Amino acid sequence: MQTYKILLLPGDGIGPEVMAQGEKVLRAVEAKGFAKFEITHSLVGGASIDAHGVPLTDETLAAAREADAFILGAVGGPKWEKIPYLLRPEQALLGLRHELDLYANLRPAITYMPLTDASSLKREIVEGLDILFVRELTGGMYFGEPRGIRTQEDGSRIGVNTHSYTSHQIQRVARMAFEIATQRSGKVCSVDKANVMEAGKLWREEVTELHQREFPNIQLTHMYADNCAMQLVRAPRQFDVIFTDNLFGDILSDEAGMLTGSLGMLPSCALGDVRPDGRRNAMYEPIHGSAPDIAGQNIANPLATILSIAMMLRYTCDNVKGAEAVERAVIHVLGQGLRTKDIHTPNCRLVKCDEMADAVVAVL
């Protein structure tokens, strides 16, 4: 078996709790013979600020570069909200994305059959839902320049963020969306605001041109972001691959998370280009955030972290059998009626964070 270097970055809030459960699953995957892992740990976010004064140290960044993949728990919390913006825990996440050029964010939103009734929408709307968001991750509003808050001549203040994209930024992640669609239903919906934003107009033009040149067999549609938000709660099963920019992808994929029952069920990965050595920079993380209000109570849902490990097996280890084994284990446990607090419904058994992970490991 090939050995993969995996860096674990637990972070803040519930991050250490779900990461501990994820590590159990990594060891179970190893025991089943799907892969071998050389696991290391490092601080990031608020935990790194407390220990080193910065959210992301050069040493942690170097370790992330050296790893075959790294798994992030969560960053941020009220403890660090009053420190300067550029030193806040969230800058660690943005820094890792930017420095490792992790430009393509994959966020599946799947309504597993046992959780259909945990969704905020009716069963007939979400049953069988399986959407994959492909989100551009290193451009747009979050990274554009100029940015900042400044005082004007009249004494009033103005906040500025720049939404900008280049042809290269758009086309490289669009290509990944089209390539992934060839392995699914062959449908891509590209989401923008081309009607009111020049960057959106460029987005639509570049996606259309790439589609015509390289992927004519893929069914491409375009949709404005506000309409997409509405359609996700009206008829979400019309979508397969939703491809969009950094800001809209952040918002829309979180919206879709509630269709599945809970953000605690949503994994994600962020990928860069394949490097000359054949490896691809890759970060895997649950999208639920640090949830400081429940941190330390052993009630967080570890399934998004566990499903992120399944994504790692698929995209970094190229081990589809291992990924499917983890996913089947999660579905089996849900089918047994085990639920953490965020997805609990009547007639189900309420379990703690560690109990849920132990059940997945037992099935594996």
239, 265: one domain: no
Specify the 3-state DSSP secondary structure of 243: strand
Burial 208-238 (b: 16+ CB within 10 A, else e): eebbeeebeebebeebbbeebbebbeeebee
Q: Could you say which DSSP state residue 263 is in? A: G
* Domain count across the chain: 2
pLDDT per residue of the chain (364 residues) written in tens, 0 to 9: 789 999 999 999 999 999 999 999 999 999 999 999 999 999 999 999 999 999 999 999 999 999 999 999 999 999 999 998 889 999 999 899 999 999 999 999 999 999 998 888 999 999 999 999 999 999 999 989 999 999 999 999 999 999 999 999 999 999 999 999 999 999 999 999 999 999 999 999 999 999 999 999 999 999 999 999 999 999 999 999 999 999 999 999 989 988 988 888 999 999 998 888 878 899 999 999 999 999 999 999 999 999 999 999 999 999 999 999 999 999 999 999 999 999 998 889 999 999 999 999 999 9
Whole-angstrom distance, CA of residue 226 vs CA of residue 156: 31
Q: How many CB atoms lie within 10 A of CB 184?
A: 12
154 alpha carbon, distance to own chain's centre: 42
Q: Is residue 135 part of a domain?
A: no
Last residue of a domain, one of 184, 215, 244: 244
3, 102: one domain: yes
84, 40: one domain: yes
CB 285 within 8 A of CB 308: yes
7, 105: one domain: yes
What is the residue whose two structure tokens read 């609990």? Answer: 344
63, 90: one domain: yes
Q: Is residue 302 part of a domain?
A: yes
pLDDT at 274: 84
Q: Which of 244, 253, 127 is nearest to 193 (CA)?
A: 244
230, 271: one domain: no
26, 114: one domain: yes
Specify the 3-state DSSP secondary structure of 269: strand
Q: Which of 240, 238, 235 is nearest to 218 (CA)?
A: 240
HSE of 70, CA atoms in CB hemisphere, 13 A:
28
15, 118: one domain: yes
Last residue of a domain, one of 201, 218, 244: 244
Q: Could you say which DSSP state residue 134 is in? A: E
CB 290 within 8 A of CB 267: no
Last residue of a domain, one of 209, 244, 279: 244
Count of residues making up the chain: 364
117, 266: one domain: yes
341, 298: one domain: yes
pLDDT at 118: 84
pLDDT at 257: 84
107, 11: one domain: yes
117, 3: one domain: yes
What is the residue whose two structure tokens read 């990594």? Answer: 26
Q: Which of 360, 340, 359, 362 is nearest to 350 (CA)?
A: 340
CATH code of 90's domain: 3.40.718.10
Our CA angle for 32, 25, 89, nearest 5°, is 145
Whole-angstrom distance, CA of residue 270 vs CA of residue 284: 6
Domain span at residue 156?
141-244
Specify the 3-state DSSP secondary structure of 217: coil
Q: Is residue 184 part of a domain?
A: yes
Q: Is residue 40 part of a domain?
A: yes
Q: Is residue 249 part of a domain?
A: no
Active site residues: 142, 193, 226, 250, 254
Q: Is residue 21 part of a domain?
A: yes
Indicate the pTM of the whole model: 0.91
Contacts of 67 (CB under 8 A, 6+ apart): 5, 6, 7, 40
Q: Is residue 178 part of a domain?
A: yes
Give the N- to C-terminal CA distance of the chain in Å, as an integer.
18
Q: Is residue 226 part of a domain?
A: yes
